[in-house]
Amino acid sequence: MSDFLPQQLLRWRRELHQHPELSDQEFATTERIRHWLEQMNIQPLPLALKTGVVIEIGHGEPLIALRADIDALPIDEHTDQPWRSQQPGVMHACGHDLHSSVMLGVAQQLKRIESQLPGRVRILFQPAEEIFTGAKQLLAAGALQDVQAIFGLHNAPDLPVGTLRTRGGAYYANVDRFQINISGKGAHAARPHEGIDSIVIASHIVTALQTLPSRVFSSLESVVLSVTRFTAGNSWNVLPQTVELEGTVRTHSAEIRSRIPDKITALINGIAAGFGAQAELVWQEGPLSLVNTPEWADFALELAAEQGYRTQVGTPQMGGEDFAFYLQHLPGAFVSIGSASEFGLHHGGFDPDEAMLEPAVHYFTVLAQRALSTLRQQQALAS
């Protein structure tokens, strides 16, 4: 591998970092990635995508996919790095700029050995991961057609550089979002008995919701319920008619997840009715739990150890990741790679160690070749 790569990786990463774009608006990012790929003599596949790029390297069968995400977050950057975001209020605070740079590096390395590849590698530069719609867009556009296994990464600020973590089975959580609309009767604050106080009712509801994880579901099941928004009123002396609550529920089991909306509905209807008010649940399903194929997770860990990473078998995380949608359709594994940032993901001070880039490029370059060989052997045995 040439010495040119480390500098190249920093150039890509810092340029992406300076020009972050929100989900589904990654137009300039898409242009940059296309341009850099064209410099490597790689043309994007002709898919109907608003943003994002998909490429393919190699020939014949089998076919695997590698995925990077490309979108940023509506967060103000607080670092004082020379390459900090030039876009006020938008920041690559989840490190998708790192992931994209890693996969650009992998594309460059694989292109150099294209004629020796035992199959094809499709690389996805996926938009809109943060709003959980990008993977679905790529699936709908046919980007995963004929792919036999898929791999992806997320940087992990809590891990030191040189550490790789994953696990077979459920790794990231089911992510669901809810809104609860509570409607009472407005009144003068001095005469609350003439109204139905939606703020008091909503407060009961917020407290009661916490009994779902602690009293309705087994403590051995993972259920997290957080109310994150409580919006009511606009005056000091008026009791408002309505309150809006918003929040998220995280679980790992599909069975537990499926029971939650009914439990919330029963609870909020009961409480609201007791006070003579109404409550309504708006439930929005997000991505399913990310479930790694055990064989591919083991493969990813063994290869990482061989490549000099310290490896860890992870415990299930409560965060979400739309890579889960790919793993609903095909086997594969998603890994976490240490990026050693003092401030975590989605924080304005997030400042990952760029030393994570180069080893990750080597890792996925070898992983792609090894996964193709493995699939080829399996198919030879099966035929």
> Which residue number is nearest to Ni ion in terms of Cβ?
94
Q: x-or-dash pattern for Ni ion, window 335-364, by CB under 5 A?
A: ------------------------------
The residue among 41, 43, 10 whose CA lies nearest residue 112 is 41
Considering beta carbons, is residue 217 or 350 the nearer one to Ni ion?
Answer: 350
Residues 6+ away with beta carbon under 8 Å from 186: 195, 238, 239, 240, 241
| Shortest Cβ 56–Ni ion spacing (Å) | 24
User: Which of the stretches 94-102, 206-214, 347-355, 358-366 binds Ni ion when contact is defined by CB under 5 A?
Assistant: 94-102
Whether residue 270 contacts residue 211, with contact meaning beta carbons closer than 8 Å, is answered with no
186: helix, coil or strand?
coil
* Size of site (CB under 5 A) for Ni ion: 1
* Among 47-55, 88-96, 131-139, 270-278, the segment contacting Ni ion (CB under 5 A): 88-96
> Which helix (H) or strand (E) segment is 119 a member of?
none
Backbone φ and ψ for 35, nearest 5 degrees, come out as -65, -45
Between 94 and 272, name the residue whose CB sits nearer to Ni ion: 94
Structure tokens at 148: 């036999």
Specify the stretch interacting with Ni ion by CB under 5 A; choose among 23-31, 35-43, 92-100, 137-145: 92-100
| CA–CA gap between residue 141 and residue 205 (Å, rounded) | 42
> Quick one: which segment of 90-98, 105-113, 356-364, 373-381 binds Ni ion (CB under 5 A)?
90-98
- Number of Cβ atoms within 10 Å of the Cβ of 43: 12
User: How far is C-alpha 93 from the geometric centre of its chain's CA atoms?
Assistant: 12
Q: Which residue has the tokens 């898409």?
A: 30
Nearest residue (CB) to Ni ion, 192 versus 344: 344
Q: Closest separation between CB of residue 194 and Ni ion, Å?
A: 50
Looking at the Cβ atoms of 213 and 352, the one nearer to Ni ion is 352
Stretch that binds Ni ion, among 86-94, 115-123, 145-153, 185-193 (CB under 5 A): 86-94
Q: How big is the chain by its Cα radius of gyration, in Å?
A: 24
List all residues 6 or more positions away from 235 whose beta carbon is below 8 Å from its beta carbon. none
Closest alpha carbon to 10 in 295, 358, 318, 359: 358
| Closest separation in Å from C-beta 346 to Ni ion | 8
Neighbours of 85 (CB within 10 A): 23
Min separation Cβ 93 and Ni ion, Å: 9
- Minimum distance between the CB of residue 129 and Ni ion, rounded to whole angstroms? 6
State yes or no: residue 245 binds Ni ion (CB under 5 A).
no
SS3 category, 321: coil
How is residue 333 written in tokens? Answer: 């594994």
Nearer to Ni ion (CB atom), residue 90 or residue 94: 94
Q: Measured from the CB of residue 25, what is the shortest distance to Ni ion in angstroms? A: 16
3-state secondary structure of 141: coil
Least Å distance, CB 94 to Ni ion, is: 3
Pick from 68, 72, 94, 243 the residue near Ni ion by CB under 5 A. Answer: 94
List of residues contacting Ni ion (CB under 5 A) = 94
